Amino acid sequence: MAVWLSWGITSLRRAAWAPVLVFSIHLVALLGFDIYQHFPDFDIPMHFIGGVAIAYFIGLSYRAAAELKLLGEPSAVVFPPMILGLTSLAAVVWEFAEFIADQQFGTHSQPSLADTLLDLLMGLLGGAIWIFGAHLCSKRIRRGDRPD
């Protein structure tokens, strides 16, 4: 039990800042500036950045679990689709939350099916970009290159 708690704390400390930051920006933009009303397209980069943040969180959480021997070392073949799949799940859950908010509270987060699908696509693209960047970084580290 202590190992799982250690994993949770490590994951939160290392990586939770990213999705918390994106969500905080979302709340400030929504509640402080009503930005989605004035600039509806602001939603597009927010979903993309959200996908990056979630993939980052999931990726670093998996690596923390591997360090603590809760999971094996991530396979180069399995790790990318697993991260993308979990990022996709997070994007779908977010869209369901928007749907529920629209139905229960009269918000207008999802004006159309096209908007919802674009939101999902942007989240997946953000996750894919993080995966690609993490792959490039890990190749540099394995080669012994140092970041400038």
| pLDDT class of 72 with cuts at 50, 70, 90 | confident
Domain membership of residue 58 (yes or no) is: yes
148 falls within a domain: no
Q: Which residue segment(s) compose the domain that 62 sits in?
A: 2-143
Residue 48, pLDDT score:
98
pLDDT at 19: 97
Mean pLDDT rounded to a whole number for the chain: 91
- CA separation for the pair 77, 122 (Å, rounded): 23
Residue 145: per-residue pLDDT: 60
Residue 112 has what pLDDT? Answer: 94
Predicted local confidence at residue 108, as pLDDT: 86
Cα–Cα distance for residue pair 72/65, rounded to 1 Å: 8
Q: Are 124 and 91 in contact (CB under 8 A)?
A: yes
Total structural domains within the chain: 1
- For residue 23, pLDDT beyond 80: yes
CB crowding 102-125: b at 16 or more within 10 Å, else e: eeeeeeebbeeeebeeebbebbbe
Give the separation between CA 15 and CA 30, rounded to whole angstroms.
24
- Residue 136: burial class (beta carbons within 10 Å; 0-12, 13-18, 19+): exposed
Question: In angstroms, what is the C-alpha Rg of the chain?
Answer: 17
Give the model's pLDDT for residue 148.
54
Non-local (6+) Cβ contacts of 73 within 8 A are 66
